[in-house]
């Protein structure tokens, strides 16, 4: 599931890969810029 809300995007990560995906996205450039990435609270 991907939801775009104004300037935020929420992506559901399955199979316990949250830490791995967060680490990768925090260092990887998207469109030439490093983006702010954080884990959202469950249930949003």
Residue 40 lies in a domain: yes
Residue 7 lies in a domain: no
Residue 6 lies in a domain: no
For residue 25, name the pLDDT band (cuts at 50, 70, 90): confident
Q: Under a CB-based contact definition with an 8 Å cutoff, are residues 40 and 8 in contact?
A: no
Q: Under a CB-based contact definition with an 8 Å cutoff, are residues 37 and 25 in contact?
A: yes
- 21: containing domain: 14-44
Reading the block at residue 35, the tokens are: 């983006």
Per the structure, the count of domains in the chain is: 1
The one-character DSSP state at 33 is E
For 18, phi then psi, to 5°, come to -60, -50
Residue 1 lies in a domain: no
At residue 4, does pLDDT exceed 60?
Answer: no
Residue 4 lies in a domain: no
Reading the block at residue 16, the tokens are: 């316990």
Cα-Cα-Cα-Cα dihedral sign, residues 31, 36, 42, 43: negative
pTM metric for this prediction: 0.57
Residue 37 lies in a domain: yes
What would the mean pLDDT of 32-41 be, rounded to a whole number? Answer: 83
What would the mean pLDDT of 27-37 be, rounded to a whole number? Answer: 84
């Amino acid at each position: 599931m991907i939801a775009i809300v104004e300037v935020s995007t929420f992506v559901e990560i399955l199979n316990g890969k949250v830490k791995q995906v967060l680490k990768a996205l925090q260092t990887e450039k998207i469109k030439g810029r490093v983006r702010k990435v954080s884990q959202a609270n469950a249930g949003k």
